[in-house]
Amino acid sequence: MKLAELIAERQPHRADARRNFDALVAAATETYTELGADAPVEEIARRAGVGIATLYRNFPTRVDLMEYVYLTSVDELVRYGQGLDRTDPWDALAAWLSRFVTHLATKHVLTTVLTRESKGYLPSRDAIYGVADPLFELARQSGVIRTDVSADDVMRLVFAVTAGVYVDDAQRERAVGIVLDGIRS
């Protein structure tokens, strides 16, 4: 199943139900970013302006909600990558990797619920690599990155770099800059 299909299958069709659903997803995104993975579902429902029963009707478990928030974040990342101007392969790759780092830094807490056995694991991985691989190939063919690195190599390195605890965002950005300098030809 593709990422878009996985996201669409959870969304309600009625307009009123969809408004509540969207409000829950927005509130969960905000709450998880602010309070972390242990954020109370009651707080999410309150911020969404719905009752707890509405939350559980849409997302029977905490993991269901966290996974859906993560999948929508991946979808946004993928759409961003697909819309990049690829005239300058280095700029396109660097812009996408920068967005990928932001995605990982803000959604890292949610990746704890997404295991290899999760229904959303392969679709989200495939969607991310579906953007990353062509960007890396274009950069490689253009001669702006080393020929001995793959998208998978760099993505794993970036994942490791973003998993660290940093003094501030500037320190994280410097670490990612070191990675980018390391892949340039």
Query: What would the mean pLDDT of 143-156 be, rounded to a whole number?
Result: 94
Q: Are residues 68 and 54 part of one domain?
A: no
Q: Which pTM does this prediction carry?
A: 0.89
Q: Are residues 18 and 83 part of one domain?
A: no
State the CATH number of the domain containing residue 175. Answer: 1.10.357.10
pLDDT recorded at residue 108: 66
CA torsion through residues 26, 72, 135, 80, sign: negative
**Structurally, how many domains does the chain consist of?**
2
What whole-number distance in Å separates Cα of residue 136 and Cα of residue 141? 9
- Cβ density class 3-12: b for 16+ within 10 Å, e for less: beebbeeeee
Q: Are residues 21 and 90 part of one domain?
A: no
Instruction: Please return the burial class of 104, using the count of CB atoms within 10 Å of its CB with bins 0-12, 13-18 and 19+.
Output: buried
Residue-number span of the structural domain to which 90 is assigned = 64-183
Q: Is pLDDT at 160 greater than 90 in this prediction?
A: no
**Residues 182 and 148: beta-carbon distance below 8 Å:** no
Q: Are residues 162 and 102 part of one domain?
A: yes
pLDDT digits (tens, 9 = 90+) for 24-33: 999 999 999 8
Q: Are residues 57 and 78 part of one domain?
A: no
Q: Are residues 153 and 136 part of one domain?
A: yes
State the CATH number of the domain containing residue 47. Answer: 1.10.10
Q: How high does pLDDT run on average in the chain?
A: 91
Tell me the longest C-alpha to C-alpha distance in the chain.
55
Q: Token digits for 177? A: 């800059």
Q: Are residues 173 and 104 part of one domain?
A: yes
Q: Are residues 56 and 68 part of one domain?
A: no
Q: Are residues 88 and 55 part of one domain?
A: no
